[in-house]
Chain A
């Protein structure tokens, strides 16, 4: 007799990036892997959405209009309601200093663009502790 399948609640990911193609890419890859994806186009919108909804992972670009990724992460980490949400920073900036700055701002992990689909899903699964 087979066990009944236990429904897994799909982890919710907020993608914050000003590039429309980049957001679409993350959405396509992550949704195919079973994640639920919400988008924001800059740090201000990302911060507001992170406060308004529950997310299991934030994927944050660095160079964005209105509020950059560093500032958004610092704001998130100052807010008791959302400060524990894991954050993955994905940036074009490949220097070690950029990664250190991201970690100091509150990132839990740092990847350099472009990110292969399997890398993105593996890291998202690890960071959300999910079985999707």
Chain B
């Protein structure tokens, strides 16, 4: 059995060699008063996968948009399952900028976010399900069109379905048309849904 590196950080983990001291200093800089210092630390910590959770912690309390942007960029570089899980948790935030940043970051990590998507698509909060569909729509993952078609088939909330229809118009193929036609029958009186489905089918056929 191979050794598994722990991602848990502790003070003792940074002592000793030069690399450890660098990491320790960067982690301290992440809490500096000066936003330019925090921004530089966030950028350089992308080289330390073991600092990913510290970057996530900082993301949740960071007020500066420019530091946040760098934190997201660094987390995209790390992109593992734990990072994806922490970013997925940001979808429940009341902070719209944090939510939207998390969506954009998760769209850039198809392999890491894929295992979390089914749970997000089954979330009791319809807004979280919409965000999951938004992620799927821009995810470079071979299964994304199929997952979107599945959403259209089983989802009961009209706005989640509408988001999936919009995404299928972009990434769906001819195999999605049956699901879209079924959806039309499920929401017979909704003018927007009829319009969205018509538009999606026209765009899919025009590809």
Contact = CB atoms under 8 A, between A and B. Distances in A.
A43 B10 CA distance: 41
A122 B33 CA distance: 50
A22 B166 contact: yes
A interface SS class: loop
Contact of A25 (B97, B127, B130, B192): B192
Contacts, number: 62
A68 B97 contact: yes
Contact of A21 (B94, B97, B166): B166
Contacts of A55: none
B199 A24 contact: yes
A115 B159 contact: no
Contacts of A19: 163, 166
Contact of B96 (A20, A25, A68): A68
Interface residues of B, number: 28
Given A21-B166, A92-B159, A93-B127, A71 B96 contact: yes
Interface of A: 19-22, 24-25, 28, 62-66, 68-71, 92-93, 97, 113-117
Interface in B57-114: 94, 96-97, 99-100, 103-104
Contact of B193 (A69, A70, A114): A114
A71 B166 CA distance: 24
